[in-house]
Amino acid sequence: MPTPAPAPSAPARASRPPFDGYALAGTALALRGTPYRDGGSDPSGFDCSGFTQYVFAQHGLALPREVREQFRLGKAVKTEALAAGDVIFFATTGPGPTHVAIAIGGDQFVHAPSTTGVVRVERLGSSYWAPRYLGARRITN
């Protein structure tokens, strides 16, 4: 009696590597010193949402361009549970989310501040940022 042919295997599914918040934070930190540029979204100059969009894209995750649209993504994260790679939102120029940054661990985040700033690290608990903090989101693949 002939041996039956093996059953066809299931088609391979494309899979993404697991999300690595520390690697993402490392990418963001490598951009420290990049100048602020209104509307900027590449290493020649960033605004805040262009910065987060660019960093996440380097890890295969697409973010919308606007701060308010980024705020709608992912899962809400409590402040005490913040982890590297979480996206942090602030109300700086009006009500609702107007500024975005990337958590790097502990009380620190990296962002592209406005006007004469450069991409830099700051503390969430600072007297400027703490009262403007709106919340954080975890965006994973």
Instruction: Name the active-site residue from 48, 63, 82, 104.
Output: 48
Instruction: Name the active-site residue from 55, 67, 90, 99.
Output: 99
Instruction: Name the active-site residue from 82, 111, 124, 137.
Output: 111
Query: For this structure, is 111 an active site residue?
Result: yes
Q: What's the rounded Cα separation, in Å, for the pair 52 and 111?
A: 8
Query: For this structure, is 48 an active site residue?
Result: yes
Query: For this structure, is 3 an active site residue?
Result: no
What residues pair up with 108 in beta bridges, in sequence order? 105, 123
Compute the half-sphere exposure of residue 56: CA atoms within 13 Å on the CB side of its CA. Answer: 26
Catalytic annotation, residues: 48, 99, 111
